[in-house]
Structure 1
Amino acid sequence: MGDLLNHKHLTSTGFVNCPDCGTQFKVFDYTNSNHFGCANCHTFFTFRMQIRSFNIKDFEAKPAIPIGSIGTFEGNSYTLAGFMVKKEKGNNYKWREYLLINAEKGYAFLSEFDGHWNFIAGTNHYPDLTSVKGNNYSVTYQDKEYKLFNKYEPQLLYAAGEFDWDVVNEHINARELIAPPCMLVRENQGKSGDWFLATYNTPSEVAEAFKIKRNVLPTRFGVGANQPAAFERQFNGLMMVTTFTVILMFAILWAFNFNKPEKEVFHENYIPQRDSAGWGGGSYKTINTGSFKVDGPTALNVELRSDVSNEWMEVPITLINDKTGQFYDFSKAIEFYHGYEDGESWTEGSRDANAVLSNIPSGYYHLSIEPASDGRGDEGLEVVITQNTILWSNFFIFLLLIAVYPIFQFVRRAYFDRQRWSNSDYSPYDRDN
């Protein structure tokens, strides 16, 4: 990108004539600029001699933003003084660079590739770039980790405008490390090198900086190397809101449990009696429990336990309000099997079951239980009822519902990042690297 000089005489202006076609154009940094590109005949020259003529058949030489335009970046005003087209040695990736000049800051650059823009500057803008630490694959700058995205050798295809170095004959090895929306660029020439910081700009932001229409800029394609996801800020905010909501739900559950703690309202053990008059051999007589008080509206947890062994017990239950006759039906199955086979013991099922009834009004209630079993006939049945039970199922359903959109955005974010790294030979998603 050239040496960043202290432009002491930036206000000095003058004109230069193209030695090939005679076109005269204004030079914005007349004192320091010493290499020039003619936009008319595409000749690159110095004050003294012509260096080369560019062949413009293989690329677009017209800049999207005219030379001489004034733009504002990071609160500073810049004059667009030069334009270059470059490519990576060994492949056809091409991009465009615009040289920017500020009276106090010196040189900066605006780079565009596939409609993705970056404002790039070195230590004249960011003195703390000298603090970059790391290796060829990962560096740290301002407590942020940057990962290697690309290594390449840039080649100049075209240059127009003015420059204070020989852009045609420079030989650079570049390395790009990203931490969206920023990128660190290391340019080495021989044994010396410089760090540059690139900050991503959208086409709309570039258009606003130069006060031009958005549609004159190139169309954006794909995902830029350090392009932040458009929903990145929304995602961070969404995660904060989701986390706050989950914490609030836990707080509400805790407050509910503190004010109305779980309380056992019924606990009895029964030995079901065979009913010879019932249908089939597995029928038992109906069990009508004693009354118990419920302070509602509340959720009741009905726990059942039986000493079944290699058998089952079906337990249909009706919760009945003693005064109003309002009832709530449910049925649970208890089955437990076990054995020993091939030198190993095994079990299947459980001797426990439970059911939760929600929004039960206040009042006195009793249970009507009609058990059935294929067992031996002496299986006990333990019934425990607790009120003010926390409805964890409702909590987890709510948790799932509020997590759907954040999960969708997380997947979308991951897909976006994979697309970014698909353009790199150093993708963390590629296990071969």
Structure 2
Amino acid sequence: MALTPPPAAGTLTCRGCGGTLEIRAPGRSVSVACGSCGALLDATDPDYRLIAQYTARKVTPRIPLGTRGRFGAETYEAIGYLVRKTVGESDTWFEYLLHNPTLGQRWLVEYHGHWVMTRTASGVPETSRRDATYQGVRYRHFEKANAEVVAVVGEFPWTPRVGERAMVDDFVAPPRMLSREATGHETTWSTGEYIDGATVWKAFGLAGAPPARIGVGAAQPSPYAAQGRAMFLLAVSFVAAAVLVHLLFAIFSQQRLVTDITGEYRPNVPEAATVVSEPFDLRGRTSNVMVEISTNVANSWAYFHLSLVNESTGVAKSFGREVGFYSGRDSDGAWSEGANWDRAYLPSVLSGGYVLVVEPEGPHPVAWRARLTRDVPRPLWVWLAIGAMLVPPVLFLWRRAAFEARRWSQSDHAPASRDDD
């Protein structure tokens, strides 16, 4: 909504320095402060009575007073400027009073490059110690501050005084903010929404760039908030796809037992240790084979050197497996460790005729069995795929948590560090 023709703006002569001051909201402004000399004048008095004279503090609003800004369909004019700080601290923030003759007044607040556009709340929120609820939205308490006015320039619908203090409580539900300001005689609530500095600069047509943001603003929206649901659905879709692919492989895999041999190893008869299976065929597409070794070892170990030999080419795929199983009882009860069986997977084995050579060794006699199965789907691959697919969501959650940690580190409810213990 554009500005409607206001009552004619007026000018007056400052009672402090004789300079010319402009009244941009006649009929609404109660006081006007001179930025040159620090004089505070009564805008309702025909003679613009001097209310107070403060030591002049040179302040230059980044948004010059009298500048008009358009936010969507609404146009506002900057008519007042406050500089405030927390008592006992050096950080300051800046509040611009914006005026529209039809829509009324708004505040544009800037702190460390973060901007919030606020207006007076239409009702009193419900509050507890750590949160507030307004129009169905729950806000978390962010911080309490004893705010002090440091400098005043322009016109206002009340009489702000340098040194005036108020207790301010901020509650946030990014990008929204809810603020309670209490003085000795009045409590007011305002509600606001975070606005990007670039948007402010564009709205007012200001030259240059807005002040750089420092840290994360109390009401700054998380860049990850809107992506959470999409990231979750994407991760679920990928995991479901990985499981489906694994199931399809399981359905269409051969999983065919091609040889099953047994033997008995005796350390004192090493020449009889080696066992060669009957020839067998590996058929179908190139795929893996699974070799399973089971034994009767107990409180001992056995090592198996195995070779899968292609009868046509003489090429051997050799590998080893060690099994060991130990058990007993102590003061804590029964215990066991290891296993008396093991398995190995040989990938990408060509079809053809093969034999399996088994050469066991160990300190004690052992009976063993070797089974070779063709084309076996491996759960390992689906778990690796799922693990890889979960990396982006985990990184996303970590970044989102880190962003919120940076936000709340500036609040009254920041997690205590170990150094504070």
The answer for the alignment partner of 2:55 in structure 1 is 55
SS at match of 1:370: strand
Separation of aligned partners in 1, 2:386 and 2:393: 11
SS at match of 1:249: helix
SS at match of 2:403: helix
Q: Which 10-residue stretch deviates more, 144-153 or 386-395? A: 386-395
- Residues 1:218 and 2:215 aligned together: no
For 1:51, the aligned partner's letter is I
Q: Return the offset for 1:188.
A: 3.5
- Residues 1:303 and 2:292 aligned together: yes
The answer for the alignment partner of 1:108 in structure 2 is 106
Q: Return the offset for 1:427.
A: 2.0
Matches within 5 A, 1:401-416: 401-416=388-403
The answer for the alignment partner of 2:94 in structure 1 is 96
Residues 182 and 198 in structure 1, CA contact (< 8 A), matched pair in contact too? yes
The answer for the alignment partner of 1:245 in structure 2 is 238
Q: For the structure 1 residues 402 and 197, does the alpha-carbon distance in structure 2 shift closer, same or farther, using more than 3 Å as the test?
A: same
Q: Which 10-residue stretch deviates more, 183-192 or 153-162? A: 183-192
Separation of aligned partners in 1, 2:94 and 2:34: 17
| Residues 254-273 of structure 1: CA deviation (Å, up to 9, x unaligned) | 33323x15624246351225
Residues 272 and 287 in structure 1, CA contact (< 8 A), matched pair in contact too? no
The answer for the alignment partner of 2:361 in structure 1 is 372
SS at match of 2:289: strand
| Residues 72-129 of structure 1: CA deviation (Å, up to 9, x unaligned) | 3354221111111112234333210001123433111111112221111233xxx5xx
The structure 2 residue matched to 1:341, chosen from 307, 330, 346, is: 330
Q: Which 10-residue stretch deviates more, 287-296 or 154-163? A: 287-296
The answer for the alignment partner of 1:136 in structure 2 is 129
Q: For the structure 1 residues 52 and 331, does the alpha-carbon distance in structure 2 shift closer, same or farther, using more than 3 Å as the test?
A: same
For 1:79, the aligned partner's letter is E
Residues 264 and 384 in structure 1, CA contact (< 8 A), matched pair in contact too? no
The answer for the alignment partner of 1:69 in structure 2 is 67
Q: For the structure 1 residues 332 and 145, does the alpha-carbon distance in structure 2 shift closer, same or farther, using more than 3 Å as the test?
A: farther
The structure 2 residue matched to 1:199, chosen from 185, 193, 198, is: 193
| Residues 289-315 of structure 1: CA deviation (Å, up to 9, x unaligned) | 452544333333322211101111111
Matches within 5 A, 1:183-198: 183-189=177-183, 193-198=187-192
Separation of aligned partners in 2, 1:427 and 1:168: 33
Structure 1 unaligned runs (5+)? 1-7
Q: Which 10-residue stretch deviates more, 303-312 or 195-204? A: 195-204
Separation of aligned partners in 1, 2:155 and 2:190: 21
Q: For the structure 1 residues 103 and 318, does the alpha-carbon distance in structure 2 shift closer, same or farther, using more than 3 Å as the test?
A: farther
Separation of aligned partners in 1, 2:330 and 2:167: 71
Q: Return the offset for 1:402.
A: 4.2
SS at match of 1:371: strand
For normalisation by structure 2, the TM-score amounts to: 0.85
The structure 2 residue matched to 1:227, chosen from 203, 212, 220, is: 220
SS at match of 1:419: helix
Q: Return the offset for 1:333.
A: 0.6
For 1:164, the aligned partner's letter is P
Separation of aligned partners in 2, 1:254 and 1:278: 44
- Residues 1:180 and 2:174 aligned together: yes
The answer for the alignment partner of 1:5 in structure 2 is none
For 2:11, the aligned partner's letter is V
For 2:262, the aligned partner's letter is Y
- Residues 1:117 and 2:115 aligned together: yes
Q: Return the offset for 1:148.
A: 1.1
Separation of aligned partners in 2, 1:154 and 1:265: 80
Q: Return the offset for 1:369.
A: 1.3
For 2:146, the aligned partner's letter is E
The answer for the alignment partner of 1:22 in structure 2 is 18
Residues 16 and 53 in structure 2, CA contact (< 8 A), matched pair in contact too? no
Q: Which 10-residue stretch deviates more, 383-392 or 299-308? A: 383-392
The structure 1 residue matched to 2:30, chosen from 17, 25, 34, is: 34
For 2:63, the aligned partner's letter is I
SS at match of 1:22: coil
Separation of aligned partners in 2, 1:305 and 1:193: 80
Percent same amino acid among aligned pairs?
Answer: 25
Separation of aligned partners in 1, 2:239 and 2:142: 37
Separation of aligned partners in 2, 1:322 and 1:145: 75
| Residues 304-336 of structure 1: CA deviation (Å, up to 9, x unaligned) | 211101111111222234445443222111111
Separation of aligned partners in 1, 2:240 and 2:208: 44
Q: For the structure 1 residues 197 and 262, does the alpha-carbon distance in structure 2 shift closer, same or farther, using more than 3 Å as the test?
A: farther
| Residues 1-48 of structure 1: CA deviation (Å, up to 9, x unaligned) | xxxxxxx99721221312223333332321211211122322111133
Q: Which 10-residue stretch deviates more, 300-309 or 402-411? A: 402-411
Residues 167 and 182 in structure 2, CA contact (< 8 A), matched pair in contact too? yes
Structure 2 unaligned runs (5+)? none
For 2:40, the aligned partner's letter is F
